[in-house]
Chains A and B, each alone.
Chain A
Amino acid sequence: MTDIDFVPSEKQLTDEESALKDVRSSYDETYGFHDDDVKYAYVSEKGLDEEKVRQISAMKNEPEWMTEIRVKAYHEFLERPTPQWGGDLNQLDFDSIYYYMRATDKTERDWDDVPPEIKDTFDKLGIPEAEQKYLQGVSAQYDSESVYHNLREDLASKGVLFLDMDSALREYPDIVKEYFGTIIPSNDNKFSALNTAVWSGGSFIYVPPGVHIEMPLQAYFRINTQNMGQFERTLIIVDKDAYVHYVEGCTAPTYSSDSLHSAVVEIIIKDGGRCRYTTIQNWSNNVYNLVTKRAVAEKNATMEWVDANLGSLLTMKYPAVILKGEGSHGEVLSIAFAGKGQHQDAGAKITHLAPNTTSQIISKSIGKDGGRGSYRGLLKVAEGADNIKSNVVCDALLLDDISRSDTYPTIEIDAQNVTMGHEASVSKIGEDQLFYLMSRGLSEDEANAMIVNGFLEPLVKELPMEYALELNRLIQIQLEGSIG
């Protein structure tokens, strides 16, 4: 291309400018609010026992098989010790967490029926406006259960199912039963067991064969109650030759005591299908974010995880792709920003089970004010899986001398003819780079932000425009140190 290609359109950059304007002053209003007006229809007591697990299931009028899955998972959760690898989980007090509450009694389909104070919250997040302009469907999770759900008719007419998980269990119990827990068994780890026992909300998506959903499907998640655990459960099934891009954005108000977010996301992509799952999360700085995400790609299927982790006290998240079918492809692109007191232990797991499969992992982490970013990756090639190509790149950018970056790559190869690359780099923002940018009139903050944005650019350009803008905005806030 010989012409200038740096601006997608005038419209978008105008949006960017307006989005970036007064970002700091608007942050508290946009993200930092804590609504006391919201009426919770039901709030369980803190802590968990079998009775409470059965109660959650009963309140949701679930079929007995789901109750039994929950109870079994609860005991698995009890039996499993708290993991001692990765981040420090020993301060996490399971008895001080609420495991279930809901803001309204039923899921609303029409925006007009949503209670005004909840609507006000979403207004602050800009959801109705975004929906009008951009979204094909919105699934907004208010604490435990979705209160609003909308899917455009053209998608519904193609047979696409997009609803919250609780409704899916009521309306499509057979499909849920067939796939629930098949990719991530409840006993996979302590937190998948906990999620299976107490899950609430999350999204269910089914895309029929050959259907391409061109615009991303989106959901927003928030934690809005002190000590509120959020245990959403998402199940996505992409049928043969179908395509979906699912985007979740997470923001949370700040709290004085610990919160736990422990989600499970299961994805099945059938032959020739493709799924991209994008997350931008910005939990408040006291949240334990312990998420299990895994996808299985069948023949010639493609799975792409795009995962941006900001905020939280500790994040442990390693999106996984199991390349089960020949010719399948898996990708994990992750961004982590670790500020003061934060540990981002993030990475990826790719398992090549079939021949002629390919994978790519790109991880970028930024450390500031003593934050710690860890890349933890597993690349596994099973016996008989020949002709494998895999490439892993992890880069860290440290903004000062007290921040930290570690890399823990694990590679297990039991096959012949495997081509793999692994690159890791750690760099610091150089005084010479700052001087150069400032010599053109940028302030030191602007120069820092420009270097960080440039570092992330290869991943940010993979995001939908509005999410790229939101990420840039969140990073700018992190750089200004206004969070926490």
Chain B
Amino acid sequence: MVTTLEIRNLHAQVAANGESILRGVNLTIKQGEVHALMGPNGSGKSTLANVLMGNPQYEITAGEVLLDGEDLLEMDTDERSRAGIFLAFQYPVSIPGVTLANFLRHAINARLKAEDPESKGMPIPKFVRMMREKMNSLGVDHSFAGRYLNEGFSGGEKKRAEVLQMAVLEPKIAIMDETDSGLDIDALRIVAEGIQKLTGPEMGALVITHYQRMLDYITPDFVHVMMHGQIVESGGAELALQLEEKGYDWLREKYGQPEQA
């Protein structure tokens, strides 16, 4: 069965101050599809990513999100993850004293135990083999596994660690929040090639980016533009090229300031 994530008329605000950010987002992502989400700073792209993952900093005020018909918004963050949603963070936090490998082993075992309460988790040798394969495939040094999660990681290392986590957890729908930001050309190539390897019929992707350069590696099936908390324009890969060339002003003129939600 092809997994489908349906976002319908989603409204959300900042929990702390009630500032309205998402003002009626509609978007459907299917396993196997690559969607690029672009748009000016402050348009709500990161908020959408965080809301889909269940970040408690945001409150849903209207709309719904369905994962294969199930109400995603009713699920806790960890349940969403175990149901196949993944968020590659723009700014991953560090967890001192917890190695990346230990963390991922717990994450995998949490999945196995959710499926089968009797599960003893993945046997260590199998886990180690799997980790090594994933690291080799993404060109990540094996020493990564023994380092504390994001602690002292460079910007590029953090992004590679996010992609490695994505590779290990094999999500059905992956959301990548500016995974290309803060990277030099070489690091971008490594990260983007890694993501490219992961995309395919098994994974749907929502790639949030400002730049066409990321999309040179990951050709999107759909490109969406978000402005003022709504998706205002959708198209094929050519839309991203158009934005690269022309910027967002033509869209601002076309759609103007939306009504306040």
Contacts and interface: CB of A to CB of B under 8 A. Distances in A.
Interface stretch (A5-13, A101-109, A221-229, A251-259): A5-13
Contact of B95 (A437, A443, A458): A437
Interface residues of A, number: 36
Contacts of B82: 441
B124 A2 contact: no
Interface in B119-165: 120-121, 123-125, 128, 131-132, 141-143, 145-146, 148-149, 165
Contacts of A455: 96-97
Interface in A76-93: none
Interface string B9-32: 000000000000000000000000
Nearest to B143: A2
Interface string A448-465: 001101111110000000
B169 A440 contact: yes
A442 B80 CA distance: 11
A436 B128 CA distance: 23
A438 B78 contact: yes
A446 B55 CA distance: 17
B57 interface: yes
A1 B81 contact: no
A4 B101 contact: yes
Interface stretch (B86-94, B180-188, B208-216, B253-261): B86-94
Chain A CB within 10 Å, residue with most, of B53, B78, B92, B132: B78
A447 B98 CA distance: 11
Interface in A6-55: 6-7, 10, 13-14, 17, 21
B76 interface: yes
A441 B81 contact: yes
B107 A453 contact: no
Contacts of B148: 454
B93 A10 contact: no
Interface in B35-75: 53-57
A431 B106 CA distance: 19
A110 interface: no
Interface in B164-207: 165, 169
A450 B124 contact: no
B143 A1 contact: yes
B107 A441 contact: yes
Contact of A10 (B92, B96, B106, B123): B123
Nearest to A437: B95
B224 interface: no
Chain B CB within 10 Å, residue with most, of A17, A440, A444, A457: A440
B57 A431 contact: yes
Contacts of A2: 141-143
A13 B111 CA distance: 18
A364 to B, nearest CB: 10
A438 B132 CA distance: 24
A7 B128 contact: yes
A437 B98 CA distance: 11
A4 B145 contact: yes
Contact of A441 (B93, B102, B110): B110
A439 B87 contact: yes
A437 B145 CA distance: 16
A451 B87 CA distance: 20
B66 to A, nearest CB: 19
A433 interface: yes
A111 interface: no
Contacts of B141: 2
A456 B96 CA distance: 9
Contacts of B96: 454-455, 457
A454 B97 contact: yes
B234 interface: no
10 contacts: A4-B142, A10-B125, A431-B56, A435-B53, A437-B95, A440-B104, A442-B78, A443-B78, A444-B76, A454-B96
